[in-house]
Chain A
């Protein structure tokens, strides 16, 4: 054993000496292998030889194109590439140890926000602005890749532009089409198109819709309802406000204060909301719109599908007698229709670590892989694949398309704000204190701002 070690070491010595003398051209034409660290299996890469290597292969055009793009990328960039499933624990360890040591084990990492934010904030993730030309897709058109804007001017966390990535987790404002028509109210989408869909107009609509329809002296129709978490996030974004979008808390900001005050007023000043069910975890207040006596509510594709509102798969028949129409949230006094964000960031991202050799090549390979559909969005987001997203929100095909377009618009304007993830660390935080009027907006801000700052400090490390 000792003898073999000495021979091996001697060979190493020779190799290192050759390297010192500049004999390095031997491997000049060898393709570089680009390693992409993940925590689930992703298909296809240079190790796959057949379409059937992907267990979920269905024979679709998109499957074929995702398979074919591998060879095209290999040839165009003279590379091989491989997705390596490191496990979730492994990818976290690899990010925190190998990048910090200056020798990243992967050329690209898949990450969630828990890993990605600290990596970006602490300089482990490469700022692509420092290595890419200005016309790179992610820095210009963003047709293939976009990025998570952390407000620090850097471009670190990439996301592939996919129809589903865009529309998922969107929470449009929904309205009961027939109720608005019965009350001779103009379609809010037209108001939005003209830049007139504001909080004031929204209150005006809600006041019109809040009625005692049977004349017994008790209000039985309401302008608005909604689960508290869904409502606050959208009021914040519609007013250009955030609470935990960076290292400084935004709870105490004026814009957040306006959003909290508006929320308070909807229940306690304008009295246009359905009575709130105390300590509801979303099971009740997300679905009372189905009773047909609500004008506006926060919706989502999954909410509409939960009770098969519109028979998305044809199995049970539509269960609502009115149409649900999606519209953007009205714009608050500190908001701007042009710049307001509209969807809280979630999901998985990718980043190139600092210390990677030739990061521009790595980016170009990843962009080319991500554009397996050759810029043909109709293949990337083909209706067959996306059918559920269309059919679940409406029965009328035109309305399905219109609702999808609203979701896509909202999903195209992501807001990074992790305040919902931090709420559990804020002792006493409960939006019902605003809803039931036991705390004013100002009291709410003052009571919780320090706790939020502590939670943010812990999150960003």
Chain B
């Protein structure tokens, strides 16, 4: 007790010095690498490459008495905010041993709800599996320091190949409780070396996206348009309330591209997730096209409407469609771009297995180069499989050559010889069936070498053999109760489907799952099927590590033709620990 009083008197003395003497040197602020006081944030970017990525907004604002980076959730998903440490710190980036950051949260309703997330590095073209948790868990400690100690033994070293630090906000108790998402603030980032010295940063640095960071636009359920697609000028930035239209007159260039087979693609946001077009001046009268039925990606931010769908409403003669094209949605909406072009035929592929020896192969025009496939790689060539080539070529084309086929030296997919396959100048896809057409049905007669070739000088960046192509699905209906389900390896979790949801399971329907799993796979379980507890899709799962699909026909093959006997519960499962972000049921487009 005596000691407590002495301690209190000491505190009083210290306070008196503080109040009357103005001696504040002991409270001097510690140096940091980035304090945002200059307003710069060009070294930060949102990563949208995960199935649960949120399109969050970034801004430098006043917070807690100084400037800070504000991260505002856009759609209720997980913000992934990337800091380009390599550009900030230059050749000192590799010295970083620990990071201190001030993290704070503000909830729009004025209450406090704890939040937590992770700090990780960009490694091997994606997010590191090593994660360092941060949390703001008490109102009395908001904001607070979030320390991260890097583990170089696990490869956590910043470099040109591993330039990014990524901060996520993954657990938002407010949102879980039904309140609005928390706004996250990051301030006073101190990158420290092994001796604890703060490393100076150049905050004028611009974010440089590493390979694999960009180009992650969610193209699920959509067709890939050619690079020559024509933008409709004036549409970007158009916005309106629910059931209200806005648009522009179509340009001559746009109209010239609006021909049979073409597709109009709209990048947008809407409160309800839908989007369609209106042709207000059509001769047949004011017309909505694909109202709430347009092909839409799972992120519900890109939709596509075909020439033929417009013709079905407005007639075959484009000259009668009127001059204006407008957008509309059932919720407040904004459009970021509208273009029209011809689909390339490229598909979203699943089960990619790299052929690493092909990366870097290059040759002149009409010259081949390639590799001898291993037995394991050859075994991947099964009906439905697709060879995907990432490339550049002077003439834009790319195909494969099977030099040792029993049918003779064979080009497959050479467009200059009337052979068709999908390519867009940077990606080419050749199907098993296209090879079989040239080399015969028996893959054991195709030879073991595979080569690339183009009509111009070419270079290949990567070649993969993929197990199959995802279905493009329309009319997706989300099973909201599945979002957030998670379990360990070989453990199941799911929901009881309602009668309305069960009614969606009709021939041709497709269940699409957005997920993450330690092993990359994902399938469904029908635990109450009359045929017995049943796994569906685990033998050859159609998945790519973030999306999986199971068709009605796959379920029927396991559980029988009558969906009334499948039971009412639907569960997910994977061979590694897993989490599901969304489950949708729709029909193949």
List A residues at the B interface (Cβ < 8 Å).
Answer: 6, 9-10, 12-13, 16-17, 19-20, 41, 84-94, 105, 281-283, 306-308, 315-316, 319
Contacts and interface: CB of A to CB of B under 8 A. Distances in A.
Given A16-B8, A87-B171, A92 B15 contact: no
Contacts of A316: 528, 530
A86 B15 contact: no
Interface string B377-415: 000000000000000000000000000000000000000
Nearest to A94: B137
Nearest to A12: B15
B366 interface: no
A87 B533 contact: no
**A-B interface, 6 closest residue pairs, ranked by CB to CB distance from nearest:** A90-B137, A90-B135, A89-B133, A89-B116, A86-B137, A87-B116
Contacts of B12: 13, 16-17, 20
Given A13-B19, A88-B171, A282-B490, A93 B527 contact: no
B114 interface: yes
A16 B171 contact: no
Contact of A315 (B9, B16, B114, B528): B528
A311 B333 CA distance: 51
Contacts of B503: none
B25 interface: no
Chain A binding surface, main DSSP class: helix
A86 B19 contact: no
A105 B9 CA distance: 25
B177 interface: yes
A316 B16 CA distance: 79
B115 interface: yes
Given A9-B19, A89-B137, A306-B527, 19 more contacts: A13-B12, A13-B19, A16-B12, A84-B114, A84-B138, A85-B114, A86-B135, A86-B138, A87-B114, A87-B171, A89-B134, A89-B171, A90-B135, A90-B138, A91-B137, A93-B137, A94-B137, A316-B530, A319-B532
30 contacts: A9-B15, A9-B19, A10-B19, A13-B16, A16-B11, A16-B12, A17-B12, A20-B8, A20-B9, A20-B12, A84-B138, A85-B114, A85-B173, A86-B138, A87-B114, A87-B115, A87-B135, A87-B173, A89-B116, A89-B133, A89-B134, A90-B114, A92-B133, A93-B133, A94-B138, A281-B490, A282-B490, A283-B490, A308-B533, A316-B528
Interface in B170-199: 171, 173, 176-177
Interface string B1-35: 00001001101100110110000000000000000
A13 B15 contact: yes
Contacts of A90: 114, 116, 135-138
Nearest to B140: A105
A19 B490 contact: no
Contacts of A91: 137
B62 to A, nearest CB: 14
A262 to B, nearest CB: 27
Contacts of A319: 532
A366 B134 CA distance: 29
A379 to B, nearest CB: 27
Nearest to A105: B138
Contacts of A10: 19
A16 B9 CA distance: 8
A384 B573 CA distance: 29
A41 B177 contact: yes
Contacts of B5: 20
A375 B111 CA distance: 37
Contacts of B134: 89
Contacts of A41: 173, 176-177
Contact of B532 (A13, A281, A307): A307
Interface string B123-167: 000000000011111100000000000000000000000000000
A158 B399 CA distance: 66
Contacts of B528: 308, 315-316
A12 B12 CA distance: 9
Nearest to A22: B5
Contacts of A86: 114, 135, 137-138
A93 B533 CA distance: 41
Q: Which has the most chain B C-beta neighbours within 10 Å: A6, A9, A93, A281?
A: A93
Contacts of A105: 138
Interface string B242-283: 000000000000000000000000000000000000000000
Contacts of A93: 133, 135, 137
A307 B528 CA distance: 8
Contacts of B18: 9
A9 B137 CA distance: 27
Contacts of B11: 16
A89 to B, nearest CB: 4
Contacts of A283: 490
A445 B138 CA distance: 48
A91 B18 CA distance: 35
Nearest to B136: A90
Interface in B85-118: 113-117
A359 to B, nearest CB: 19
A428 to B, nearest CB: 20
B4 to A, nearest CB: 9
B9 to A, nearest CB: 6
Nearest to B18: A9
A87 B115 CA distance: 7
Contact of A88 (B116, B177, B490): B116
Contacts of A281: 490
Contacts of A9: 15, 18-19
Contacts of A19: 8
A2 to B, nearest CB: 9
Nearest to B538: A283
Contacts of A16: 8, 11-12, 15
Contacts of A85: 113-114, 173
B437 to A, nearest CB: 39
A94 B140 CA distance: 13
A306 B15 contact: no
A210 B15 CA distance: 84
Contacts of B16: 13
Contacts of B133: 89, 92-93
Contacts of B532: 307, 319
B366 to A, nearest CB: 49
